[in-house]
Chain A
């Protein structure tokens, strides 16, 4: 059974803090993704990675960066958290070619 885990379910940070969200998958998937989900806006892709050390910008990369040093781990970094980054963050992974994406349980981040 595919498992995607995220480091925290709930996180509260202050404006200006650096925030790290970690995601780990155990199925040797090539592709990993970070989304944020907001009411009325749906899932929006922040960044994705199709290989170790490779990254591609998604639709809303501003204010975020990512790191993929190992195949199973994909980190999302908020360099200086702002209140408009309060959201649900979802990590996903998938095989190549295009296939089902498996999602982690999500991290609800609140920036105050």
Chain B
């Protein structure tokens, strides 16, 4: 079983819609979680960190469910510029710098 699993998609969503995707992690000791965004032929960039209490940044909301070992990303009022691959990331424990990346979920926003 992969340490971090994501539905690869693609998710094809009309502009203005709300889209959500989940990511599951297998290591219950994982402490830190992130969502990265990767545009086509570009490097990954941090979208947001995921805190235990959940966090929101504009149209983006990230949630952590420790009991079920998944994190989620919700995008409201989707824009064409949201088209990208979204990578879920977990770190095994505090002090360990190694990140484990999911394989990514591809999102395409349709005009």
The interface of chain A, by Cβ under 8 A from chain B, is: 31, 35, 40-43, 45, 48, 50, 56, 58, 90, 94, 96-98, 100-101, 103-106
> Are the CB atoms of A42 and B102 closer together than 8 Å?
yes
Main secondary structure of the interface of B (DSSP, over half): loop
Which one of A43, A45, A97 lies within 8 Å of B94 (CB-CB)? A97
A residues near B57, Cβ cutoff 8 Å: none
Chain B residue with minimal CB distance to A90? B43
B77-103 with Cβ < 8 A to chain A: 87, 91, 94-99, 101-103
> Are the CB atoms of B101 and A98 closer together than 8 Å?
no
B20 in the interface (beta carbon within 8 A): no
A residues near B101, Cβ cutoff 8 Å: 35, 42-43
> Are the CB atoms of B44 and A43 closer together than 8 Å?
yes
> Are the CB atoms of A94 and B44 closer together than 8 Å?
no
CB distance from B43 to the nearest CB of A (A): 4
Which one of A31, A42, A98, A106 lies within 8 Å of B43 (CB-CB)? A106
